Structure 1
Amino acid sequence: MRALFPRLGADFSKLWTASAVSNIGDGITMAAGPLLVASITTDPAAVAGAVFAQQLPWLLFALISGAWADRLDRRRLVVTVNLIRAAALITLVAAVSCDLVTVPLIYAVFFVLGTGETLADTASSAFVPALVPPDRLPTANAWLGATFTVLHQFAAKPLGAWLFVVAAAAPFGANALSYAASAALIAGIGTLPPPEPRPHRSLRTDIAEGVRWLWGHRLLRTLAVTMAFGNMIFCAAFAIFVLYAFERLGLGRVGYGLLLTAFALGGLAGSVAAPALLRTVSATVLLRGGLAVEVALHATLAATRTVWVAAAMIVVFSIHATVWGNAVMTLRQRSVPSAVYGRVSSVYALLDLGGAAVGSLLGGAVAQAYGLTATFWTAAGGMGVVLVLAWRPLSSARAAFLQRV
C-alpha cells in the first residue's frame, strides 16, 4: 500500500483501505437489504421503508453528529461506531439464520446503520486534510471517489445479490466483517491529531457555531445552498427515472440496469480526470461549467427518446458531478478549521439530503400532474435559475481553491 500512495503517506493508505472495505460492505447491504424485505413482504411501501430507515438519521441527527465529531476523538469515534454497526448486523444475521427476522427488526438495524453513518462519515471526513498535504488533496479525494465508484457501485451490489441467493444471512455477515476490518484499520492510523480542547458548552451552542461559520463564508455558503437546490432539482427529476426509462426510452428491467451503469462509468472517469483538471483549469470555470452541464442533462433527457443520447449525457453529467464533488471537498478541506470541520460538514450533509428528500416528493407530484418529460423540463429551468444566481458568487472559487491552510 505504501508503494501505491508514495506521496500520500502510509496512514492515508490505511484510511483508503478502510474506505475500500467499508464501501464493499455498504454496497453489499444496499443490494441485499431490499431483497431481504421483499422475501418477507411484497408491499412496495415496506420495501421502500428500509431505505428510508437508513436515510432518516441524516435528517434527524446530522447537526448533532457534527457537533459530537468536533468534541470527541474522531479516530476513537469512528472505531466505536463501526464496531456498533458490526454488532447490529450480527444481530440481523442471527435473526435471519434462525428464521426470526421481521420487517420492524430490519428497520431497526438499518436505522442503527444510518445513525452510525452520520457519526462515522462526518468524523472521518476530517481525516483526509489531517493526513494529506494541501497540494495533494485533489489526488487523495480522487482515490477515495474512484474507490467508491468501482467497489460500491460496480462490484459490491451484484456481489450482495449473489450472496443473498447463496444464503440470506451471508451479505449481512460480510458487511459486519467489513465494519470490523475498517475499525481495525482506522485504529492503526497513528498521525491523527487529538481533539482541540474547548470549553464545555451545550450542543445547541456548538451546532450554532458551525452554522454561523458556514454562513459567514460567502463561497462555501454559495456552494452549500447551490448543492441543496441542485440536489432537490436532480432528485425531483430522477425520482421517476425508472418510469422514464420504461416509457420514454422503451427499456426493460435489464436495459434500465445497464443504463444506470452510465452513472458509474462517468463517476470513474471523473475520479481519474479530477486531479489534472483541478491543476490546469480554474475552479470557477469548473463549477460554473458543471452547473451548465446539469441544465443540459435535464434538457437532453426531456427532449430525447434515443437511449445512447441519454446514456452519453448521463456519463458527461457523472464526470461533472465527480469533479464538482472533488473541487468542493478540496475547498472545504482547505478552508474550514479542524475545530469546526465536523459541524460544517454536517450542515452540508443536512442541506444535501434535505434537498434530495424534498425533490423526490416534488418530482412525483409534477410527473403525476404534467407527465414525465415535464419533470425534466422543469428541472432544466430550475437549474438555469440556479446557474444565473450562482454565477457571480462562484467567481471567488479560483482564489479560494489556491488557498493553503
Structure 2
Amino acid sequence: MGVSADSPVVMEEKLRRYPPFVRFWLASTVSDFGTYITSVALSVLILVTMSGTALDQGLVNAARWAPYLLFGLVAGVWIDRLPRRTVLIGGDLGRGLILTGVALASAAGLLTLPALAMLIFAFGTLALTSDAAHQSFLPQLVPRPLLTKANARLQQSDTVAQTTGGAVAGGLVALVTAPFALLLDALSYFLSAAVLLTLKRPSQAPVPSTQRLHRKVAEGLRWVYRHPYLTPLACSTHIWFIGSSILGTVLPAVILNDLGMGAVGLGLVMGCAGIGAVVGTTVSTRVGHRWGTGRTMVTARVAQPVAIALVALGPVIAGGTGAGESYGSPLQWTAEMWAAFALIGAGQLLFGAAMGVEGPLEMGFRQAVTPDRLIARMSATMRSVNRGMIVIGAPLGGLIATMAGAGTALWVSVAFLLLASMVLLGSKFRSVRTEEQQLTDEEALARD
C-alpha cells in the first residue's frame, strides 16, 4: 500500500526540508519553556511574596494584555512595514531585559504592585509586536499546504513546555523563590533571540504601501468580520477569552490561597493541563482531517466548559481546607486536598486536551484562508480583540472572587465557555473543512 502525499509521515518529512522553520521552531520552544516558569513565578510573586489578592492578580493580568487592546489593530499594519525577523529578535531581547528588571527589583525589595503592572504592560507591548510578527513570519518559512502541520509542531512544543515547565516551575519557585525563577525566563528569551539571529532574512521583503493607516486597519476588520467562517469563529473566540481569563485569574488564587497547595501544587495543576494539551496537539491534525475542522473544533469547545466544571467542584470537595495556610509539599496535603487536586487535575487535563486539539486547526484555518498581505492584519484584529477580552475578564474574575468567592468566579468562567461553544455550534462554521477553503500559493498571490 502506498503512502499518501498528505500523510503525516510525508508531511513531517516535508517540514524537515525547511531548515529555517526548524530553527524557528527551536527558538519558539526555548521561549515557551521560560514562559510557563514565569506564569507560576508571577502568580506566586503577586499572591504570596507581595501578599496580593485575586483582584491584584487580575489587574496585573489586565496590564499584560492591555497593549493588545490599545495598539493591536495598528500593530498588524506596522509589522507589514518591517522585517519580521528583526521584530521577533527585538521583542525577545526587550522581554528578557524587562523580566531581569522585575527579578532584580523584587529581590531588592523595591517592587510594588503599580510598578509591576507598568513593567508587565511594557512586556505585553513587546509581546504584541512579536506575536504579530510570529504568525505572519511562519507563512514565509513553509508553503501554505504545510501551515496546519507547522502550527501543530509549534503548539506541540508549547504544550510539552507547559507540561514540564509548570511542574518544574513549582519546585523551582519553592527552591529559589519567584524573583530568581523569573531570571530563567529572561535567559530563555535571550537564547531565543540568539537562535533567530542564525536565520537568514527572508527573500520576501516588506512591500511599502501608500494606503492610509485607517484604511489598512479597516481592511483587516472587514476581512475578519465579513468572512462567512472567520466571523463566527472570531465571535466565539472573543467570548471564550473572557471565560478563560477569569479562570486564569482565579485558579492560582484557589490553589495558593484557598487550598494552600503552594507553588508546587500550582505547578502540578498547570502540568496536568500541559499533559492534556500534548495529547490534543498530537492527534489534532489527524482528527481534523477525519472529522473536518469545524466539527472537531466545535466538539473541543463543548468539552471545555465541562472540564472547568470539574475544576469548580474541586474547592467544594475540599471544603476550604488549607485556607490561610500553605502546605509546601504534597506530602503534607490532607485527604480532602488530594481529592480536590484530583478533580482540578482531571478538569485541567480535559481542558488542555480540548485546547490542544483546536489550537493548530484554528491557526491553520485562519492562515490558510487569508492572503499573505492580510495575514498580519487578520492576526492583529483577532488578537487585539481577544486580548481585549482578557482586559475585561481578568479584573472581572478577580472582582467576583473578592466579593462572592473564588467558587462563584469559576462557575462564571464555565458560563462564558459554554456560551462560546454554543455560538460556534449554532453557526455554519461547524461544517467547514480547511482543505476545501484553503488558498493555494498561486491563488493567494493573485488575490494580493
- Structure 1 length-normalised TM: 0.82
Partner of 2:50: 41
> Using a 3 Å threshold, how does the CA distance of structure 1 residues 290 and 49 change in structure 2: closer, same or farther?
closer
Whether 1:31 and 2:17 are equivalent positions in the alignment is: no
* More moved, 350-359 vs 209-218: 350-359
Q: Secondary structure at the match of 1:30?
A: helix
Kindly report which structure 2 residues correspond to 1:147-162, keeping only aligned pairs within 5 A, or say none: 147-155=157-165, 158-159=168-169, 162=172
* 2:354 aligned with 1:320: yes
Instruction: Work out the CA distance in 2 between the residues paired with 1:100 and 1:244.
Output: 27
CA distance in structure 1 between the partners assigned to 2:86 and 2:167 by the alignment: 29
Q: SS of the counterpart of 2:229?
A: helix
Instruction: Give distance in 2, aligned partners of 1:342 and 1:225.
Output: 19
Distance 1:316 1:172 in 2: 28
Using the alignment, how far apart are the partners of 1:13 and 1:278 within structure 2? 24
Q: Partners of 1:317 and 1:89 in 2: how far apart? A: 29
**Residue of structure 1 equivalent to 2:223:** 213
Aligned pair 1:262/2:296, yes or no?
Answer: no
**Equivalent residues of 1:237, 1:376 under 8 A apart:** yes
Query: What amino acid does structure 1 have at the position aligned with 2:369?
Result: S
Q: Distance in 1 between matches of 2:406 and 2:111?
A: 41
Q: Distance in 1 between matches of 2:255 and 2:240?
A: 22
Q: Does 1:386 align with 2:423?
A: yes
Aligned pairs for 1:359-374 within 5 A: 359-360=393-394, 365=400, 368=404, 372=408
Q: Aligned runs of 1:164-183 on 2, under 5 Å?
A: 165-166=175-176, 170-183=180-193
Task: Tell me if the contact between 1:82 and 1:180 (Cα under 8 Å) persists in the aligned partners.
Answer: yes
Q: Identity across aligned pairs (percent)?
A: 24
Amino acid of the structure 2 residue aligned with 1:53: A
Residue deviations 1:65-114 (CA, integer Å, cap 9, x gap): 22211121111111122222233344445545665544444333322211
Partner of 1:52: 62
Give the direction of change, closer, same or farther, for the CA distance of 1:338–1:94 in structure 2 (3 Å limit). Answer: same
Output aligned runs, 1:203-352, within 5 Å.
203-236=213-246, 240-241=250-251, 253=261, 258-294=268-304, 296-297=306-307, 311-352=345-386
Would the aligned equivalents of 1:284 and 1:397 in 2 still touch at CA under 8 Å?
Answer: yes
Instruction: Tell me if structure 1 keeps the 8 A contact 2:85–2:201.
Output: no
How is 1:84-233 mapped onto 2 (pairs within 5 angstroms)? 84-92=94-102, 95=105, 100-155=110-165, 158-159=168-169, 162=172, 165-166=175-176, 170-190=180-200, 192-233=202-243
Counterparts of 2:355 and 2:407 in 1: how far apart (Å)? 26
Given residue 253 of structure 1, which amino acid in structure 2 is its aligned partner? Answer: M
Query: How many angstroms does 1:329 deviate by?
Result: 0.5
Q: Is the 8 A contact 1:28 1:159 kept in 2?
A: yes
Contact kept, 8 Å, 1:219 with 1:397, in 2: the verdict is no
CA displacement, residues 112-141 of structure 1 (integer Å, 9 cap, x when unaligned): 211100000110112222212333323322
Question: Contact between 2:305 and 2:415, CA under 8 Å: does it hold in 1?
Answer: no
> Aligned partners of 2:122, 2:375: CA distance in 1, in Å?
24
CA contact (8 A) 2:83 2:205 kept: yes
CA RMSD of aligned residues (A): 3.7
Q: Which moved more, 1:46-55 or 1:266-275?
A: 46-55
Q: Secondary structure at the match of 2:14?
A: coil
Letter in 2 for 1:386: V
In structure 1, distance between residues paired with 2:173 and 2:345 = 29
Report the Cα distance in structure 2 between the residues aligned to 1:97 and 1:375, rounded to whole angstroms. 36
CA contact (8 A) 1:196 1:339 kept: no
1:395 aligns with 2:395: no
Q: Displacement of 1:51 after TM fit?
A: 3.2
State the alpha-carbon separation in 2 of the partners of residues 380 and 156 from structure 1.
23
Could you list the per-position Cα deviations for residues 190-232 of structure 1 after superposition, in whole angstroms to 9, with x for gaps in the alignment? 2634443233344333222211222232111221111112233
Counterparts of 2:345 and 2:109, CA distance in 1 = 42
Report deviation, 1:240. Answer: 4.6
Q: Distance in 1 between matches of 2:105 and 2:348?
A: 40
1:164 CA drift (Å): 7.6
Distance 2:105 2:310 in 1: 47
Q: What residue ranges of structure 2 are gaps of 5+ in the alignment?
A: 1-11, 318-338, 442-448
CA distance in 2 between counterparts of 1:232 and 1:118 reads 18
Q: Taking structure 1 as reference, are residues 209 and 99 closer, same or farther at Cα in structure 2, changes over 3 Å only?
A: same
Given that 1:231 and 1:352 are in contact with CA atoms closer than 8 Å, whether structure 2 keeps it comes out as yes
SS state of the match for residue 206, structure 2? coil
- The answer to which of 230-239 and 21-30 deviates more is 230-239
1:402: how far off? Answer: 5.0
SS at match of 1:218: coil
**Which stretches in structure 1 are left out of the alignment for 5+ residues?**
none
Per the TM alignment, residue 318 of structure 1 is displaced from its structure 2 partner at its CA by 2.4
Give deviations 1:335-369, integer Å, cap 9, x for gaps.
Answer: 22222211111111123223344344566649939
> Which of residues 382, 394, 412 is equivalent to 1:375?
412
Aligned AA for 2:222?
R
- Which sits farther off after the overlay, 12-21 or 233-242? 233-242
Name the aligned partner's letter for residue 81 of structure 2: R
Partners of 1:370 and 1:53 in 2: CA distance: 21
Residues 70 and 342, structure 1, Cα contact 8 Å, conserved in 2? yes
Say yes or no: does 1:15 pair with 2:19: no
Output one character per residue of 1:23-61: Cα deviation in whole Å (capped at 9) or x when no partner.
Answer: 122233333334445676324255554433322222222
Q: Is residue 79 from structure 1 mapped to residue 89 from structure 2 by the alignment?
A: yes
